[in-house]
Structure 1
Amino acid sequence: MTTAVLLSCHGTVSRVEDIPAFLNNIRRGRPTPPELVAEIRHRFERIGGSPLMTITAAQGRALEGRIGIPVEVSGRLWHPYIKDVLQRLVEGGARTVISLPLAPQSVHVYNASVREAAAAYPDVTIRGAPPWGNEPALIDAFIETIDEALAPVPAEERAGFAVVLSAHSLPMRVLAAGDPYEHQFKEMAGAVAARLQARGMVTRIAFQSQGASNEAWLGPDLPTTFSELHAAGARDVLVAPIGFVADHVETLYDLDVEGPDMAAKAGLVRFLRARALNDRPRFIDALEAVVRREMAAIPG
């Protein structure tokens, strides 16, 4: 083996007992208020634990089956950490590692973590995938999830659903420092929206799952968006969490548990939620396309 792929995601815990340590990682060592720990624990227990790493592993296996070179998965903020997975790849013979963040936007954050870990291996080349939110197969996969969510609705009623394309919010200070996340997400969302608007559907962009820090966060949030849709005459809403490529707490709790109540409070009648991409074949097509471009660019 000389070339391998390292998929990286945010990461999550498999045991609720690890939530305090996980939150400390997210908060970069700042003390976590006990009430925040209790709330996050409640959310994990309510959904039966996060499937994020199980889904990520399935994505990795599916991609490996397509490209014929080793694919390993890692978490940026929890086990299996990037540094440990990279070490395993290098010990297995990898001399070129393609870093593919499982987030189409702000890939520089994940690629930087991989390069930092790779500093211990001067003879290993890291190829960081560029932002890939405009990958055609990715847009197709999002449309598939939306169509599947609408499938139980009578055909003549589907165009009446407003579609909210959501992503995780970020503190405004991060964007003010130059992070391209908002621009990149809106560009990707625009490609999805164009496909839906061609069918006569109303679309909106929203940013969900704002953190607990007492600072300004990127919006509009979901309650605001739902209220604006209702004021504009909408009755029914479908949330497509296209900012997430795998179901986890932000979809299974923030949308499936809290979402219907938020929509009802805004006066909307029906609430639907598109599933995340998980390991659907069209999404794996997108990952394969990104990796094959990187493989083709490897010298020699």
Structure 2
Amino acid sequence: MSFPKDAGVLLVAHGTVENLDDLGAFVARIRHGRPAPPGLVEELRGRYEAIGGSSPLLQTTREQAVALAKRLEAPVLVGMRLWEPGVEQALAGAAALGLSRLVVIALAPFSQHVYWQAALKIAQAAQTPIQLVPSPPYAEEPEFVAAHAELITRHAPEAAPLVLSAHSLPRVAIERGDPYARLVEGAANAVSARLGRPVRLCYQSQGADGGAWLGPDVRETLSALAAEGHREVAWAPFGFLADHVETLYDLDVEAKAIAAELSLSLVRVPALNLHPGLTAALATVAIRSISTEASG
């Protein structure tokens, strides 16, 4: 079907700063106003400086939106959940285009429910006349799984054990019913089946707060591989749709340093970024969502 003329898509990503002087305010938003532990902002500044002083996340997200708009022949807007340009700006842009409906797709494949609730709350506060349309989890969409498999096949040595990583989450969130871990495991199994290759799951980039987080973490995963006698590991950050500080620093700098300590060579598979398979998966989800809304 062709995309309805009154409808568009809102891609919601985590967000990142373009000016490092904004890091304090950015961390405050991430922590919902809770005080940051001492040194956290400066530590984060160091990570950004180590990857060149900025993250490509916003630019990549905008390019993902352009690719999706071209495929759908429909407007695609970008809103960041925790920084600018925010969902509010995207809603204003949609109104200026005369749209009445927006399919909301989170560029966080295992957290669609969290991003949907955030966008809905902002829309309600703004009293926008634009109707937001939810979209389902898509991490097991065939095009999405195939895109990961293609990148892994292209970049990962076949003889090396394969690690798939996603962002960690506090265990208390899972205990309260968050489906995150179940969605991660389902997607990992789908990628493994598509490749015909076993995978190991790792939860990276644990937060600064105390308490238990999902694991195993990066050091635990690499230590186990070294103890088993491996000398090379392939690593695909399949929980991230664009390279940013948590792949460019947490993996390319920090994880590779840990691997070197353990006499391991870490071969990192890129994030999907502008992979056409990602565009195809997002288009499938957008069309299905707007079709379901129309028929419902």
Q: TM-score, normalised by structure 1?
A: 0.92
Note the residue ranges of structure 2 that are not aligned, 5 or more in a row. none
What residue in structure 2 maps to residue 154 of structure 1? Answer: none
User: Alpha-carbon deviation of 1:105?
Assistant: 1.1
Spell out, residue by residue over 1:146-188, the C-alpha distance to the aligned partner (whole angstroms, 9 max, x if none).
Answer: 12223xxxxxxx3320010000001112111111101101100
Tell me if the contact between 1:227 and 1:267 (Cα under 8 Å) persists in the aligned partners.
no
Matches of 1:159 and 1:108, distance apart in 2: 35
What residue in structure 1 maps to residue 235 of structure 2? Answer: 239
Aligned mate of 2:294, from 292, 296, 299: 299
Counterparts in 2 of 1:35 and 1:233: CA distance versus 1, 3 Å: same
SS of 2:136's partner is coil
Q: Which segment drifts farther, 81-90 or 119-128?
A: 119-128
Amino acid paired to 1:204? R
What residue in structure 2 maps to residue 96 of structure 1? Answer: 101
Tell me if the contact between 1:223 and 1:266 (Cα under 8 Å) persists in the aligned partners.
no
Matches of 2:162 and 2:233, distance apart in 1: 6
Note the residue ranges of structure 1 that are not aligned, 5 or more in a row. 151-157
Spell out, residue by residue over 1:254-282, the C-alpha distance to the aligned partner (whole angstroms, 9 max, x if none).
Answer: 010112221123342x2100000001111
1:137 corresponds to 2:143: yes
1:60 corresponds to 2:65: yes
| Greater than 4 Å deviation, 4+ residue runs | none
Aligned mate of 2:200, from 200, 204, 208: 204
Amino acid paired to 2:138? W
User: Alpha-carbon deviation of 1:34?
Assistant: 4.3
Superposition RMSD on alpha carbons, in Å?
1.5
User: Alpha-carbon deviation of 1:283?
Assistant: 1.2
User: Alpha-carbon deviation of 1:202?
Assistant: 4.1
User: Alpha-carbon deviation of 1:123?
Assistant: 4.0
Q: Which segment drifts farther, 259-268 or 62-71?
A: 259-268
Tell me if the contact between 2:145 and 2:194 (Cα under 8 Å) persists in the aligned partners.
no
Tell me if the contact between 1:161 and 1:202 (Cα under 8 Å) persists in the aligned partners.
no
Matches of 2:258 and 2:141, distance apart in 1: 32
Counterparts in 2 of 1:232 and 1:64: CA distance versus 1, 3 Å: same
User: Alpha-carbon deviation of 1:214?
Assistant: 1.8
Spell out, residue by residue over 1:98-131, the C-alpha distance to the aligned partner (whole angstroms, 9 max, x if none).
Answer: 0011111121111112211222446432111111
Spell out, residue by residue over 1:78-105, the C-alpha distance to the aligned partner (whole angstroms, 9 max, x if none).
Answer: 0011122112212321111100111111
Matches of 1:78 and 1:183, distance apart in 2: 28
What residue in structure 1 maps to residue 31 of structure 2? Answer: 27
Aligned mate of 2:273, from 270, 278, 286: 278
SS of 1:276's partner is coil
Spell out, residue by residue over 1:191-247, the C-alpha distance to the aligned partner (whole angstroms, 9 max, x if none).
Answer: 112233x2xx44200000111112211100011111212223322101100000000
Tell me if the contact between 1:167 and 1:206 (Cα under 8 Å) persists in the aligned partners.
yes
What residue in structure 1 maps to residue 219 of structure 2? Answer: 223
What residue in structure 1 maps to residue 194 of structure 2? Answer: 195
Amino acid paired to 2:248? L
1:9 corresponds to 2:4: no
Q: Percent identity?
A: 43
Tell me if the contact between 2:67 and 2:279 (Cα under 8 Å) persists in the aligned partners.
yes
What residue in structure 1 maps to residue 180 of structure 2? Answer: 181
Spell out, residue by residue over 1:64-86, the C-alpha distance to the aligned partner (whole angstroms, 9 max, x if none).
Answer: 00101110011000001112211
Matches of 2:250 and 2:35, distance apart in 1: 24
Q: Which segment drifts farther, 68-77 or 287-296?
A: 287-296
Amino acid paired to 1:161? A
Amino acid paired to 1:139? V
